[in-house]
Amino acid sequence: ESLANTIMKIVVFTYLLSTALAGNIVEELTAAGATTLVDLVVKAGLAETLAGPGPFTVVAPDNEAFAKLPADLLATLSGDVELLKKVLLFHVVPGMAVMRKDIGNNMIVPFPQQESLHIVNVYLKSKFYDGFVTVNGKLMKKYDITADNGVIHILSDVVYPFPSATITELVAGDERFSTLLAAVSAAGLADTLASEGPFTVFAPTNEAFAKIPKDALDGLLADTEALKKVLLRHVLPTALFKKGISWDTHSTAGGEEEDMIATQVFKGDVIKVVSSVGGTRKGARVVAADIIATNGVIHAIDTVI
């Protein structure tokens, strides 16, 4: 028997053995080193559930992810078992084992108990690269740890808080965006930005609008079509979380070629977004990223583009 054949048999046998001997979700989480998560699962009384028949898909924050949480939030979670349970179950999709190959861009996973959802994205995918996955903007760093009752993917962060408001509701409830809200309402776009999406909105702050001379701004607010065109240039018809932003050009909801915008990423966590309309180039800097909605994500910017 050739050496190659023998090696092949050993490889196949080892593979069969490893799948046959996969433990349940809790055991595999422990083996993967996600011990903080396991401790919290036990504390919340969910260990039995996750050892049950499943299948489950678990997006599991690693120990570093929990260590990054603000101390007061960890204390709150430890003291409030119902909230802890809710947060942990926000990382578990029951009834299915979703492997990495089954994950597509802009997938929406509803969580009725939390009245919330996951927006799942695949970025930088090409013929030559599988890309990478984010869940509500949090990076999936390891895929496809199989258990006998499901599959585990390891995350770099805890997925919290639960998104519960639409983009329109977030803009309406945030005083940084009161001028934007007036503009969105004047342009008749409030319903659009409350619809399913997912969208990305590069949202100019009040300071951004204040850079426009008053006469010009009043004129723009009075001209519905022109206003609509400017605002739609700030909207992408896809969810682009901070982790997915790279040097790239994007078609916007404006639809015309001149409405395309470019994103740029620099050292020191600086992200810029640039438009070029009628030969005029305008650049803005992201001042707050990943304000997450149920229908997408908002990045606050310091200039109207």
Confidence label for 9 from pLDDT (cuts 50, 70 and 90): confident
Mean pLDDT of 171-190: 97
φ and ψ of 145, to 5 deg:
-85, 110
pLDDT at 142 (0 to 100): 97
Mean pLDDT of 255-266: 95
pLDDT at 7 (0 to 100): 76
Residues 57-66 pLDDT 10s: 999 999 999 9
pLDDT at 2 (0 to 100): 79
Average pLDDT, the chain: 94
- pLDDT of residue 260 exceeding 80: yes
pLDDT at 1 (0 to 100): 66
pLDDT at 32 (0 to 100): 95
The secondary structure element, H or E, covering residue 170 is: helix 167-172
Residues 207-225 pLDDT 10s: 999 999 999 999 999 999 9
Q: 3-class SS at 62? A: coil
With pLDDT > 70 as the criterion, what percentage of the chain qualifies? 97
- pLDDT of residue 40 exceeding 90: yes
Radius of gyration of the chain (CA): 23
- pLDDT of residue 18 exceeding 60: no
pLDDT at 13 (0 to 100): 66
Confidence label for 17 from pLDDT (cuts 50, 70 and 90): low
With pLDDT > 90 as the criterion, what percentage of the chain qualifies? 90
Residues 46-84 pLDDT 10s: 999 999 998 999 999 999 999 999 999 989 998 999 999
Confidence label for 198 from pLDDT (cuts 50, 70 and 90): very high
Mean pLDDT of 178-185: 97
Q: Beta strand 138-147 with 150-155: parallel, antiparallel or unpaired? A: antiparallel
Cα–Cα distance measured from residue 174 to residue 176, given in angstroms and rounded to the nearest whole number: 5
Task: Report residue 219 as tokens.
Answer: 């004129």
Cα dihedral across residues 239, 244, 246, 248: positive or negative: negative
Cα dihedral across residues 225, 284, 217, 296: positive or negative: positive
Confidence label for 16 from pLDDT (cuts 50, 70 and 90): low
pLDDT at 8 (0 to 100): 77
Say which DSSP state 182 is in: H
Residue found by looking up tokens 């999709």 in the block: 93
φ and ψ of 202, to 5 deg:
-85, 100
pLDDT at 163 (0 to 100): 97
**Rounded to two decimals, what is the model's pTM?**
0.91
pLDDT at 26 (0 to 100): 95
Mean pLDDT of 24-34: 95
Mean pLDDT of 283-295: 98
Nearest C-alpha neighbor of 256 from the set 238, 277, 240, 271: 277
Tell me if the bond preceding 204 is cis, omega within 30° of 0.
Answer: no
